[in-house]
Structure 1
Amino acid sequence: MKGLNTYWKEKISGKRVLITGGTTGIGREIVLLLISFGARCIICGRHQAQIDETIAEANSISPGAYCLGVVADLSKNEDIENIFHTVDNIFGGIDILINNAALGYGSIMEGDYEKWSYTVQTNLLSYMACTHHAATRMKAAGSGHILNIGSMSADVREEGSSVYVATKSGIQGFSEALRKELNPDGIKVTLIEPGATDTDMQEASNDEKLLQVAQGEMLKAEDIAMAVAFCLVQPDRCDIVGMQIRPHLQLI
């Protein structure tokens, strides 16, 4: 077998990738890693400043990196359609979709219908809508890979996080059924479910999160990016269907 660095670059270089929520946390680390292997990426996020910062960082890691950004609110169908218009205009197709965008939320006893709806639309319905658009294009090509970022919350189901758990449980079920639908068309489907990860979604202070990482109680976002790349470089004959990644001492 070739050296892993050469092999990974050959498998990822030139791939046309869309990453939702690609400006912070896990999504941002996925972008930076895939760019370093030569992928061409379109990212979306709600804030232009964060898009610009991520693109600048990508170019600092890999001068001349192919990374474009679209401002989008994934709770809105028109914004999702605009993303795929951009995909078509820039790429003329798509090889990899990484559904990653998500918002944290607590208990159903908090907030109101409007807030729950916004969270569900962003965390779950956007995965479904982006998958529909991407899979339609991938079917025409006879190949592709859809990778959904879920959460261990779908199984742990922590008290006080019922709204978030509902969306991540939905992603879990969606991914399992989706694979059965799309595999015959040559499209891979992978679900990655991280445990506690150092992102903005965690409410602890930066110092507290760094301590938890050092103690093996929390993952770094780059750990999930590495797992994503591992799933993407598998041979055509091999599917990583699901992967759960837990901090060493997160005893769940």
Structure 2
Amino acid sequence: MKTALVTGASRGIGACVAKRLARASYEVAVLARSEDKLEALCAEIHSAGGKAFPVVCDVTKENEVSHAYEVLKGKWQTLDLLFNNAGANRPGTVELSLEDFRYIYDVNVIGAYLVLHNAVPWMKEAKAGTIINLASIAGTVGFPGAGAYCSTKFALRGLNESLHNELEPLGIRVTAISPSWVDTDMAAHCPFDSSKMIRPNDIAEAVLYIDNLGENVALKEMVIGCRNDLV
């Protein structure tokens, strides 16, 4: 049975990916801050015959992330798949308070780094594994009024590309998924019709597809747009 860690798993894309992986016979560690939501998610997965367990953790806290990996290593010999998904958004650019600007960076960049900082050495030991970082089309286009969020996703894509080039020769797949608008709570401010957005399940299917590509395939990034070109 393959193992998978999903961060930002308490809702939205993360929860959907966790459920899809469990249906595909992965044992899934679901990581987020909300213990109640994680417990409910695990109960849903268990009722469908899957395997999952909660890991309560704030990805912006170095000690909490380190402890989370201690828990994982106590249960698993290897980590086969990391879906690095935890994210946050605050609309705005220079008008944002420094507190809000730092918060977005703490979650989207520092949090992603801390999760990778602990995962990569573990995968290097096994000389195998898949890392999927959830980036965004906003990491390729600087949207007006969203400079803080866009800049974090530009940073994450750069981190992903460097790791892709470093780790692929070692047998570790590193891929970014960069979607357009996905129908989740984070897209509630979007002026477009939600019926025309990408579904969270589309991202889940992409994660499963990437993890099961042949060993000779190197995929740096998967860009998923909306058919109606909402971006």
Please tell me whether the aligned partners of residues 43 and 70 of structure 1 are also in contact (alpha carbons under 8 angstroms).
Answer: yes
Query: What per-residue deviation string (whole Å, max 9, x for no partner) do you get for residues 118-166 of structure 1?
Result: 2211111121121121110111111111110100011122111111001
Deviations 1:49-88 (A, max 9, x none): 1101211221232x2x220111111111111111111111
1:241 aligns with 2:226: no
Q: What's the secondary structure of 1:198's corresponding residue?
A: coil
Partner Cα distance (2:228, 2:67) in 1 = 42
1:176 deviates by: 0.8
Q: Name 2:203's counterpart in structure 1.
A: 224
Q: Determine the C-alpha separation between the residues in 1 that align with 2:149 and 2:43.
A: 31
State which drifts further: 52-61 or 218-227.
52-61
For the structure 1 residues 110 and 68, does the alpha-carbon distance in structure 2 shift closer, same or farther, using more than 3 Å as the test?
Answer: farther
Q: Is the 8 A contact 1:74 1:122 kept in 2?
A: yes
Match of 1:8 in 2: none
Q: Which residue of 2 aligns with 1:132?
A: 117
Amino acid in structure 1 at the alignment position of 2:155: G
* Equivalent of 2:67 in 69, 82, 87: 82
Aligned to 1:50: 37
Partner of 1:16: 3
Distance 2:189 2:155 in 1: 26
C-alpha separation in 2, matches of 1:236 and 1:130: 24
* Aligned partner of residue 43 in structure 2, secondary structure: helix
Aligned-pair CA distance for 1:221: 0.7
Distance in 2, Cα, partners of 1:56 & 1:110: 42
- Mapped to 2, the partners of 1:46 and 1:32 lie a distance apart of 18
Structure 1 residues not aligned, in runs of 5+ = 1-13
Which structure 2 residues correspond to residues 191-230 of structure 1 after superposition, within 5 A? 191-204=176-189, 211-213=193-195, 216=196, 218-230=197-209
Deviation at 1:204, TM superposition (A): 4.3
- 1:28 maps onto 2:15 in alignment: yes
Root mean square deviation of aligned Cα: 1.6
- Contact 2:90/2:100, CA 8 A, preserved across alignment: no
Post-superposition Cα deviations, 1:153-210, rounded to whole Å, max 9, x if no partner, equal: 11122111111001100011111111111112211101100100111112249xx87x
Q: Deviations over 1:12-67 (max 9, x none)?
A: xx111111101111111110100001001111111111101211221232x2x220
Q: In structure 1, give the amino acid aligned to 2:217.
A: C
In the alignment, the residues of structure 2 paired with residue 110 and residue 43 of structure 1 have an alpha-carbon distance, to the nearest angstrom, of 35
Give percent identity, aligned residues only.
28
Q: Return the alpha-carbon distance in structure 2 between the equivalents of residues 37 and 163 of structure 1.
A: 36
State which of 72, 92, 107 in structure 2 corresponds to 1:107: 92
Partner of 1:181: 166
Contact 1:108–1:162 under 8 Å retained in 2:
yes
For the pair 1:170 / 2:147, whether they are aligned, the reply is no
TM-score (norm 2): 0.94
Whole-angstrom CA distance in 2 between matches of 1:105 and 1:250: 23
**CA–CA distance in structure 2, aligned partners of residues 250 and 52 of structure 1:** 37
Aligned to 2:127: 142
Alignment-derived partner of residue 5 in structure 1: none
- Following superposition, the deviation at residue 113 of structure 1 comes to 2.1
| SS across alignment from 1:92 | coil
Contact preservation (8 Å) 1:20, 1:45: yes
Residue aligned with 1:219, SS? coil
